[in-house]
Homo-oligomer: A and B are copies of this chain.
Amino acid sequence: MRTRIQEFLREDIGSGDVTSNLVIPEDVMARGRIVCKQDCILAGAEEASVVFKELGAKVTKVREDGKPAKKGDVVLEVVGAARSILAGERLALNFVMRMSGIATLTRELTDRVHKINPDARVAATRKTTPGFREFEKRAVLLGGGDPHRAGLFDAVLIKDNHIRIAGGVEEALRRARKGSFTKKIEIEAETPEDAKAAVKAGADIVMLDNFGPEEASELSKELKRLRPEILIEVSGGIKPENIERYAAGADIISLGALTHSVRSIDFSMELERA
């Protein structure tokens, strides 16, 4: 994580913080507080801490990532050279604002789903901001969701384009099963026939793509009769508005909106001489 945070600092600081270098004397010490401006599930406070430590300041975490924070709460305190705190302020806030936005939405959806089906998982996708995926997935986790694949490398997921080129569900699964025994195999199904074929051909997980909630629920039951251990993921067209309707009939509900269309939570930094 430190390497990434060093890169992010370089992005913002570049050839130097011209404002602080001029306006703030080198030896002024300061104390800063990151204050929450909206109720939320906190995430990114750990990353914010690393930002300030990397710049040589001392950090006290007041609130814990993954727990609720209320408007007005101080979530983190930092003491150090005023120039260092000012150089890290924006990056630290950008972490907390975005990651808390994701964690808060995830928690809200997870709570709603769990009222109906306590065993279902709300999962993210690979629709993340390029270069920032590890932090967005961590925020999903802190919000109680499932991060799903970290990338193309850690599980087999056979999608419509793969199936079309491979020449069908069975053939695609036949090939995939030659892969390493250490990886799970998931396959996307766009029709009930494909879904059943997938279960029979040995998939570990079937993703029902763009099915309506009732249709998905019915099909799910049928597939579990074919093989009880099969996992059913529903995806496509699922939004905060309709997620509860999918809750009963699925093991996993995945939606891109967890990471690609989130509103940041507002936080600010208050600084004073120390």
Contacts and interface: CB of A to CB of B under 8 A. Distances in A.
Interface of A: 3-4, 6-8, 11-24, 28, 30, 82, 86-87, 89-91, 93-95, 97-98, 101, 121, 123, 126-135, 146-159, 161-162, 164-166, 172, 175-176, 178-184, 186, 205, 229, 231, 251-252, 256, 260-264, 269-273
Nearest to A135: B130
A172 B22 CA distance: 8
Nearest to A172: B23
A153 B154 contact: yes
Contact of A263 (B149, B186, B261): B261
B154 A15 contact: yes
Contacts of A15: 14, 134, 150-151, 153-154
B184 A183 contact: yes
A16 B150 CA distance: 9
B182 A148 contact: yes
Contacts of A262: 261
